[in-house]
Amino acid sequence: MYLLNLSESLCMSLSIEEEFFPIFRGMITEPQKTIRKSRSASLGDAITYFVIVLVIYGVLTAVFTGILGQVIPFFFPAVEDLFSAAFFLVGLVISGVIGLFLLGAILHIFIKIAGGSGGYTETMRAFALAGTPLAVIGWIPVLGLLSWLWTLVLVVLGAREYHKLSVIRAVIAIFLPFILLALLGIAAALLFMIDPGQVTISEIVSFTG
């Protein structure tokens, strides 16, 4: 039943000319007002908007790396032909949607802990709209890093609006899970770098003591 409702909502989702571009432009120029006006958007609308953003980001990235990918391979792998570009785009959309659901669920848990009053759809809507910077500057080397900070700010605005949170609570709810994930990643990297065979009992005792 859930999948049926989701497919129906996707069929009634955003029209490109009438809804997507005004929302896209508004998230750049007037994000708070646009977030408020998008309150009635369904889960299907949010997913569709995010997919379109991913497609724009993917196409621009493919074009950019196809021209300059070999010059700056550190930032992007080069897309050398149409097949690799299509493969990259499909993979990006699939992984992006999966990430939207998973990160949306994690963020929703922290938002509810912070006292948020909205549902999972509200969290997904805020997260999907906040993906706008990816299509704006996310595909540009160096500036692409700033798009993630911009995205976090937009998620905070969305959480505050849709879940009736204060700015401080919204910031804590959004930034805390990313900080915890970063710390877990660093800890995992450190454990991976340590060779257990070279660590002695005395070193462990001196480190913990």
Query: What letter would DSSP give residue 134?
Result: I
pLDDT at residue 96, as a whole number: 93
Average of per-residue pLDDT across 14-41: 85
The arithmetic mean of pLDDT across residues 59-79, rounded, is 62
Checking if the pLDDT of 14 tops 60, the result is: no
User: Which residue has 């949170």 as its token pair?
Assistant: 165
Give the separation between CA 23 and CA 184, rounded to whole angstroms.
Answer: 35
Q: What is the pLDDT of residues 99-142, one digit of tens each?
A: 999 999 999 999 999 999 999 999 999 999 999 999 999 888 77
Q: Which of 52-56, 155-159, 194-198 has the lowest mean pLDDT?
A: 194-198
**Helix (H/G/I), strand (E/B), else coil: 162:** helix
Query: Amino acid identity of 177?
Result: P
pLDDT score of 63: 81
**pLDDT score of 87 more than 90:** no
- Helix, strand, or coil here: 47? helix
Percent of the chain's residues with pLDDT above 90: 51
| pLDDT greater than 80 at residue 6 | no
Whether the pLDDT of residue 165 is over 90: the answer is yes
DSSP annotation of 198 reads: G
Residue 65 has pLDDT above 90, yes or no: no
Share of the chain above pLDDT 70, in %: 76
End-to-end CA distance of the chain: 57
Q: Is the pLDDT of residue 72 over 60?
A: no
Q: Which of 157-161, 184-188, 203-207 has the highest average model confidence (pLDDT)?
A: 157-161
Predicted local distance difference test score (pLDDT) of residue 190: 81
56 alpha carbon, distance to own chain's centre: 15
Going by C-alpha positions, the residue among 178, 138, 121, 160 that lies closest to residue 53 is 138
Residue 68: per-residue pLDDT = 62
Q: What is the pLDDT of residue 61?
A: 84
pLDDT of residue 185: 83
- Average pLDDT over the chain reads 81
